[in-house]
Structure 1
Amino acid sequence: MSDNERTGPAADDELSLPKATVQKLISEMMPGDIVCAKDTRDLLIDCCVEFIHLIASEANEICEKETKKTIAGEHVISALQTLGFEDYVEEVDEVYKEHKKQQKDRDKRSTRLENSGISEEELLRQQELLFEKSRLKFEAQNQ
């Protein structure tokens, strides 16, 4: 059975988006006096899942043509172009670049921590001391 042929409740749970998050996004996009029906929200979720599946499948094909084993952001951008979603490419590319920058920054912080020579236990002990100092200061201010 291929991925496209999955059926049953497990398949539904597997291929969905968080309803509360989607509802929040919808509410933020709609004017205050417009309400979105549950069926409409569910239809939007289905459309989003289908869109993601379409882009992911195309990106996978592009990846395989390049004899790569991991889909990269560039493959997703190529998939958008191939499928006629050129209008999204610029914004997706900007978000992708920002994501890569954040990853680099996160990796630098992680490396700095690893190179500090302080054990995780010692860091946790120091953190607890800082929390205790903060609690004492807060209590002193509120007396």
Structure 2
Amino acid sequence: MSDYENANGSDELSLPRATVHKLIQEMMPKDITCARETRDLLIDCCNEFIHLVASEANEVCEKEAKKTIAAEHVLTALKALGFEGYLDEVQDAYEDHRKQQSRDRDKRNARFDSGLTEEESLRQQEQLFAQARMQLESQQLLQQQVQEQPHQHDQQTQEGTNP
């Protein structure tokens, strides 16, 4: 059975069994174990909860004539389903997620932000291309001279032996 199949073995997407098992172990006291059937039941309940919230969020989204479910739709769905007790925690998790995304985006953008204007960047790029072109041409010239040198040496040797 795949890690993403539900407890009934169907191909419907499910939460990863290993992740749920780890969460159960972290939440329960060390001296208590959780039977496999209980874990499977918890996974089924979690899946049902996710489907319920997603379905309600989709309805909220459609009522607003939107095509993408946003966090606000999920919050509205939780409230409509009577899960107001989760709103603060979900809102906090969403804010943490947005902050992390912003930090990640800033890190990615910092790699590309040189502090130069576009014109300065283009000028600098042209200079680098010119330098690379000069290096390539000088290497080609040097190779050509090295290839001609033995040929010239052979000619001089032949001229010296044939007076």
How does the TM-score come out when normalised to structure 1? 0.70
Give the Cα separation in 2 of the matches to 1:113 and 1:14.
Answer: 41
- The counterpart of 1:64, out of the listed 43, 62, 81, is 62
**Cross-structure match for 1:46:** 44
Q: After TM superposition, give the deviation of residue 52 of structure 1 in Å.
A: 0.3
- The counterpart of 2:108, out of the listed 102, 105, 110, is 110
Tell me the matched-pair count. 108
**Cross-structure match for 1:81:** 79
List structure 1 segments (4+ residues) > 6 angstroms apart after TM superposition: none
Q: After TM superposition, give the deviation of residue 51 of structure 1 in Å.
A: 0.3
Question: Could you say which structure has the larger radius of gyration?
Answer: 2
**Cross-structure match for 2:19:** 21
Q: After TM superposition, give the deviation of residue 14 of structure 1 in Å.
A: 3.5
Where does structure 2 lack aligned partners over 5 or more consecutive residues? 1-7, 115-120, 122-163
RMSD: 1.7
How does the TM-score come out when normalised to structure 2? 0.62
Question: Kindly tell me: are residues 103 and 34 of structure 1, through their superposed partners in 2, closer, same or farther at Cα, counting changes over 3 Å?
Answer: same
Task: Name which structure has the greater RCO, CA cutoff 8 Å, separation 6+.
Answer: 1
Give the Cα separation in 2 of the matches to 1:48 and 1:87.
Answer: 17
- Whichever residue aligns with residue 59 of structure 2, its letter is E
